[in-house]
């Protein structure tokens, strides 16, 4: 809770308060939470105070759009209502819609020719607003404005740090169950996303690894609409106990400078404790008495005046669609094409990865088939190898340099003292049931150990081959020798 007052129309911070939610208070119940806040209001002597609050990014639907320029504010508000009602995932009469001007992440370049105005519309469902209002009623507060947390954080960031023109800042605001990830540049919000970092059955709460993964995913989404955009610095806000570890993890993961957001200095707050968790509240408190620094206000949204000529509004709204469709040079020619090019590059990279994976899988399939073939052939290879081991002549006369097995066939290569030894070995195998020997040639070699020839034999093994598993000749010990 941040307490502030207006002095000559400007906000001045009075005090900051943090309170633990006691047992018996249900934060999801408006009455229970409101009564708890009421006790704080009484303790702090704030009876009759007005409240400025905000909703989180996950509780609002954001839609950016390009509309015709040169229309009145009432007509623009009407067009926003008309366009947003067609894109919301719920009925338009179930939500409060407000909007702000400016170029945003998926309409970049749309105002290049001056023929369109880009706006960002936000919709918050009415039951949520009613719940927040009920909390304030129970607490004895008058809800004056209801903003959007990413923009409150935006105000806090640019009041607290010094940025170079064009410098892009990433802010990660951690709460008990989610992380809000915002990209800011030149005091404007370029990108905003909320990511759940816990599951309903997860008692451990958020962890650094999970948050870093969501930040990486968010940056990839941002780069899909803003190719080549780079993050220059990162800030972390929150009071979960993970903030310092997250700062270190993001510094390593993003390879940019990263630090904990401490807005105390930017708001002239004298306190001996960290103020990172107060960033959004301080951003709300930086609103002047006219509320001009809040781009969204779901209590007092920008509403169109009662239309005098509905046909004209519908015609302009239809023209807005035509402008968006026909303005290929401004919108489709820039943002859309860049988006598609990014998708092509992404898919090309995925294709290369899949081809590489497919190549590995083909090799694996070939090996599996070889194993299956061996298994199905049922040649009892351990017995066959033992058979060759006991059938071969002594190593003084012959030794193997290679043994290549395939279903029904064994290729033997090696060196031998003389050709007669090879012949005797081949004849011995031929006399056994199920074996056929095909000599593949011999050749003379120079050998310092008495092996004068090199040989190759192909041995065909039929399924009815009966290997001889006689005991091999024992090796004499040194004492016996």
pLDDT at site 430: 85
Q: Give me the pLDDT at residue 377, please.
A: 62
Residue 393 falls inside a structural domain: yes
pLDDT (tens digit per residue) in 428-465: 888 888 888 898 888 888 877 888 899 999 999 887 77
213 in a domain, yes or no? no
Query: Which residues neighbour 77 within 8 Å (Cβ) at sequence distance 6 or greater?
Result: 99, 302, 303, 304
Residue 97 lies in a domain: no
pLDDT tops 50 at residue 217: yes
pLDDT at position 33, please? Answer: 93
This prediction's pTM: 0.61
The model's pLDDT over 284-328, given as tens digits with 9 standing for 90+, comes to 888 776 656 678 899 989 887 665 556 665 665 555 444 433 433
User: How far, rounded to the nearest angstrom, does the alpha carbon of residue 76 sit from its chain's CA centroid?
Assistant: 36
pLDDT of the residue at 200: 55
Q: For the chain, what is the mean pLDDT? A: 82
Give the Å distances, CA to CA, from 245 to 172, 179, 240. Answer: 13, 15, 11
Domain of residue 388: give its range: 381-461
- The predicted pLDDT at position 407 comes to 78
Site of tokens 């005046």: 305
Mean pLDDT calculated for residue range 134-141: 93
> What per-residue confidence (pLDDT) applies to 184?
92
Q: How confident is the model at residue 270 (pLDDT cuts 50, 70, 90)?
A: confident
Mean pLDDT within 51-75: 86
Q: Residue 245 has what pLDDT?
A: 92
Distance (Å, whole) CA 480 – CA 328: 96
Least confident of 47-51, 382-386, 392-396: 382-386
pLDDT of residue 327: 37
Mean pLDDT over residues 57-83, rounded? 84
Is 145 part of any domain?
no
- Whether 78 shows a pLDDT value over 60: the answer reads yes
- Average pLDDT score over residue span 73-102: 84
- Count of structural domains within the chain: 1
pLDDT for residue 316: 58
Q: What is the CATH number of the domain that holds 428?
A: 3.30.1360.100
Sheet holding 178-185, edge to edge: 188-196, 178-185, 168-174, 233-238, 257-260
User: With bands split at pLDDT 50, 70 and 90, how would you rate the model's confidence at 223?
Assistant: confident
Mean pLDDT of 266-279: 82
Instruction: Specify the higher pLDDT residue, 266 or 31.
Output: 31
pLDDT at 378 over 70: no
Question: Residue 175: pLDDT band by 50, 70, 90 thresholds?
Answer: confident
Report residue 332's pLDDT band, with 50, 70 and 90 as the boundaries: very low
Whether residue 424 lies inside any domain: the answer is yes
CA neighbor of 54 nearest in space, from 125, 127, 151: 151
444 in a structural domain: yes
Residue 59 lies in a domain: no
**Which one has a higher pLDDT value, 74 or 298?**
298
Asked if residue 394 belongs to a domain, the reply is yes
Considering only residues 40 and 405, tell me which one the structure prediction assigns the higher pLDDT: 40
């Amino acid at each position: 809770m941040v307490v502030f007052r207006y002095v000559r129309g400007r906000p001045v911070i009075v005090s900051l308060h943090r309170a633990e939610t006691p047992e018996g208070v249900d934060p999801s119940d408006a009455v229970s939470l409101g009564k708890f806040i009421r006790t704080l209001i009484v303790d702090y002597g704030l009876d009759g105070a007005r409240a400025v609050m905000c909703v989180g990014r996950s509780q609002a639907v954001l839609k950016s759009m390009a509309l015709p320029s040169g229309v009145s504010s009432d007509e623009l508000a009407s067009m926003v209502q008309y366009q947003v009602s067609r894109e919301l995932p719920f009925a338009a009469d179930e939500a409060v819609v407000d909007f702000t001007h400016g170029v945003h992440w998926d309409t970049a370049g749309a105002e290049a020719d001056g023929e369109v105005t880009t706006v960002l519309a936000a919709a918050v469902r009415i039951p949520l607003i009613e719940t927040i209002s009920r909390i304030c009623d129970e607490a004895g507060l008058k809800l004056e404005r209801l903003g959007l947390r990413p923009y409150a954080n935006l105000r806090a960031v640019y009041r607290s740090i010094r940025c170079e023109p064009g410098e892009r800042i990433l802010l990660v605001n951690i709460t008990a169950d989610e992380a809000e990830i915002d990209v800011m540049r030149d005091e404007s919000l370029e990108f905003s996303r909320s990511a759940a970092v816990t599951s309903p059955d997860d008692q451990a709460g958020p962890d650094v690894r999970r948050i870093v993964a969501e930040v990486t995913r968010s940056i990839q989404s941002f780069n899909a609409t803003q190719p080549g955009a780079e993050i220059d610095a990162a800030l972390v806000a929150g009071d979960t106990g993970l903030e310092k570890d997250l700062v270190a993890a993001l510094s390593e993961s993003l390879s940019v400078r990263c630090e904990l957001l401490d807005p105390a200095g930017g708001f002239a707050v004298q306190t001996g404790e960290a103020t990172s968790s107060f960033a959004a509240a301080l951003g709300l408190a930086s609103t002047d008495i006219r509320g001009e620094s809040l781009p969204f206000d779901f209590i007092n949204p920008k509403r169109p005046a009662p239309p005098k000529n509905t046909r004209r509004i519908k015609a302009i709204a239809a023209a807005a669609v035509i402008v968006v469709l026909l303005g290929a040079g401004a919108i489709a020619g820039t943002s859309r094409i860049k988006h598609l090019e990014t998708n092509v590059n992404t898919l090309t990279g995925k294709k290369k990865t899949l081809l590489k994976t497919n190549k590995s899988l083909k090799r694996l399939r070939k090996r599996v088939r070889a194993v299956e073939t061996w298994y199905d052939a049922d040649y009892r290879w351990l017995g066959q190898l033992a058979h060759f081991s006991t059938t071969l002549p002594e190593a003084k006369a012959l030794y193997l340099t290679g043994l290549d097995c395939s279903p029904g066939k064994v290729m033997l290569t090696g060196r031998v003292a003389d050709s007669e030894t090879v012949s005797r070995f081949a004849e011995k195998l031929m006399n056994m049931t199920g074996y056929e020997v095909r000599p593949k040639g011999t050749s003379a070699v120079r050998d310092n150990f008495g092996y004068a020839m090199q040989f190759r034999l192909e041995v065909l093994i039929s399924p009815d081959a009966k290997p001889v598993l006689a005991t091999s000749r024992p090796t004499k010990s040194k004492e016996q020798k």
